[in-house]
């Protein structure tokens, strides 16, 4: 029997059959793997298109549905990738059950290390359900203020006015200041010379603010108006003017109001300091 095996192993025909068999097996595995990859890509594409078609039109009118669409896309991507990984292992001839059993045994140990992940996912779910923040909102989380550009299973993405992008784990989100739910009230200062009559300047300021409010509906939440004098010196009088607008528009509206006031005060013969 030993001599027979030795003759068989040294036989050219045996090795030729062995190589053909292994080659066929490898080709078959590659074809199956390519099939799994193609199906995965098609399913991912179809799921994204389905979400866009079902929630896309609603999301354009509601930022909450836009946020929900991003979260669902993230969840479906994780699930689809897990299924793809299992099928890819089966396609190359690896036994799936040992991996499943090992995952089940290691799951308890991994679970302790994944507490942060679970916390992030659950926190993100309740952030959306409670409508704490939505895509497009301007929020302050900790020391970061920016626009919510994306909400996923684990992280919320903010972009500030300089273009910096912040990825904040949902589990780390504590106190949230949402600046988009109501108009923001701010103020600007106009400095005039102390020789000018304050009453005349107040009249010009209030008239100009009311004019802007009446002629640009929606730009200002309320008419800009004189609040009071914030500082007085030997060379100047600082007059404070209120301004209220949406957070996204506030910087632009402040510049618009300042320009209009400067022009109006000059036309009224009031000298700026």
Q: What is the CATH number of the domain that holds 170?
A: 2.30.30.60
> For 20-36, what is the mean pLDDT?
71
Band of residue 240 on the pLDDT scale cut at 50, 70, 90: very high
Together in a domain, 56 and 104? yes
Which residue among 84, 113, 142 closes a domain? 113
If one counts the domains in the chain, the total is: 3
Alpha carbon separation from 251 to 35, 137, 211, 243 (Å, rounded) = 54, 16, 19, 10
- Is residue 260 in a domain? yes
Q: Note down the domain range covering 160.
A: 119-178
pLDDT in tens, 158-197: 998 888 999 998 888 888 888 877 778 889 899 988 877 8
Residue 70: CB partners within 8 Å, gap ≥ 6?
135, 150, 151, 152
Tell me if the pTM is above 0.85.
no
Together in a domain, 171 and 234? no
Give the residues across from 140 on adjacent strands.
145, 177
Give the separation between CA 66 and CA 61, rounded to whole angstroms: 9
pLDDT at 70: 66
Sequence length of the chain is 273
Together in a domain, 105 and 131? no
pLDDT at 12: 62
- Is residue 204 in a domain? yes
pLDDT in tens, 194-209: 877 888 889 999 999 9
pLDDT in tens, 113-148: 567 777 777 787 778 777 788 888 888 888 888 888
What's the per-residue H, E or C state across the chain?
Answer: CHHHHHHHHCCHHHHHHHHHHHHHHHHHHHHHHHHHHHHHHHHHHHHHHHHHHHHHHHHHHCHHHHHHHHHHHHHHHHHHHHHHHHHHHHHCCCCHHHHHHHHHHHHHHHHHHCHHHHHHHHHHHHHHHCCCCCCCCEEEECCEEEEEEEECCCEEEEECCCCCEEEEEHHHCCCEEECCCCCEEEEEEEEECCCCCHHHHHHHHHHHHHHHHHHCCCCCCEEEEEEEEEEECCCCEEEEEEEEECCCCHHHHHHHHHHHHHHHHHHCCCCEC
pLDDT at 162: 86
Together in a domain, 161 and 196? no
What's the gap between Cα 213 and its chain centre? 33
Alpha carbon separation from 189 to 61, 129, 159, 254 (Å, rounded) = 37, 41, 29, 10
Residue 14: CB partners within 8 Å, gap ≥ 6?
8
Together in a domain, 7 and 73? yes
pLDDT at 260: 92
pLDDT at 163: 87
Which carries the bigger pLDDT value, residue 36 or residue 169? Answer: 169
Together in a domain, 80 and 132? no
Name the maximum alpha-carbon separation found in the chain: 120
The pLDDT of residue 10 is above 60: no
Together in a domain, 102 and 153? no
β-strand 138-141 against 222-232: which pairing, if any?
Answer: unpaired
| Residue found under tokens 């300042």 | 258
- Is residue 273 in a domain? no
Instruction: Give me the chain's average pLDDT, please.
Output: 77
Residue 31: CB partners within 8 Å, gap ≥ 6?
none
Give the separation between CA 52 and CA 44, rounded to whole angstroms: 12
Together in a domain, 98 and 133? no
Give the separation between CA 205 and CA 237, rounded to whole angstroms: 14
């Amino acid at each position: 029997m030993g001599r027979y095996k030795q003759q068989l192993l040294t036989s050219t025909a045996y090795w030729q059959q062995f190589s053909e068999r292994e080659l066929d097996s490898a080709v078959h595995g590659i074809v199956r793997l390519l099939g799994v990859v193609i199906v995965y890509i098609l399913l991912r594409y179809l799921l994204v298109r389905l979400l866009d078609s079902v929630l896309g039109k609603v999301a354009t009118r509601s930022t909450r549905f836009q946020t929900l669409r991003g979260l669902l896309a993230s969840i479906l991507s994780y699930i689809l990738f897990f299924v793809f990984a299992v099928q890819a292992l089966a396609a190359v001839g690896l036994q799936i059950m040992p991996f499943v059993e090992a995952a089940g045994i290691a799951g308890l140990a991994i679970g302790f290390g994944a507490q942060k992940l679970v916390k992030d996912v659950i926190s993100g779910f309740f952030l959306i359900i409670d409508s704490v923040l939505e895509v497009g909102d301007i929020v302050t989380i900790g020391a970061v203020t920016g626009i919510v550009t994306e909400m996923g299973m684990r992280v919320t993405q903010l972009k500030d006015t300089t273009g910096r992008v912040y990825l904040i784990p949902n589990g780390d989100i504590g106190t949230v200041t949402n600046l988009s739910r109501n108009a923001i009230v701010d103020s600007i200062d106009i400095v005039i010379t102390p020789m000018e009559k304050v009453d005349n300047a107040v009249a010009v300021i209030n008239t100009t603010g009311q004019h802007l409010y009446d002629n640009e509906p929606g730009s200002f939440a309320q008419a800009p108006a004189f609040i009071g004098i914030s500082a007085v010196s030997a060379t100047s009088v600082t007059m404070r003017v209120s301004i209220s607008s949406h957070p996204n528009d506030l910087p632009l509206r402040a510049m618009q109001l300042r320009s209009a006031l400067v022009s109006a005060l000059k036309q009224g013969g009031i000298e700026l300091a």
